[in-house]
Amino acid sequence: MNNDQVIQLLKDFRCYDYAANNCGRTEFDLPVMISERKRHPDTWDWSRYNRIVNMVKGAVDHVLSDDQRTVITRKYLDRNTLTISEISILLHKDISTISRWHKEAINRLSIALMPLTDDEKEITAFNHMFERNTA
């Protein structure tokens, strides 16, 4: 996984986390149109999103140093994210130090998250399920 993919995964993390916590827990059933959902109606999305969430949380917790983890959490995973500049002010560190920690963290995460496939990382909108076929 390259660094740009890791950054996008981190930017989308809260969406994955929300999906993992809410897959298959609606009071109404959505039409089942995707083949994986036909075979496993509620478990496919739940297991896919949980794998992403667990991989990212695990990589952040186990692969990164405390300083790197702080930067990644503040920049991507917190509810109200901060810029590198804001993190440097908060931590009373030079912006170049925070940038270096960020770059090192992204490099380490790119290795740790390599097992995630592109199919696993994709969240598909359900809009197409409700469109009428006019052809």
Q: Which amino acid is at 72?
A: I
pLDDT confidence bin for 21, thresholds 50/70/90:
confident
The residue ranking higher by pLDDT, 69 or 33, is 69
Domain parsing of the chain, residue ranges: 3-124
pTM, full prediction: 0.74
Q: What is the pLDDT of residue 26?
A: 47
DSSP code string of the chain = --HHHHHHHHHTHHHHHHHHHHTT--SSPPP--SHHHHHSTTHHHHHHHHHHHHHHHHHHHHHS-HHHHHHHIIIIISSS---HHHHHHHHT--HHHHHHHHHHHHHHHHHHTTT--HHHHPPPPSHHHHS----
Q: What is the pLDDT of residue 33?
A: 39
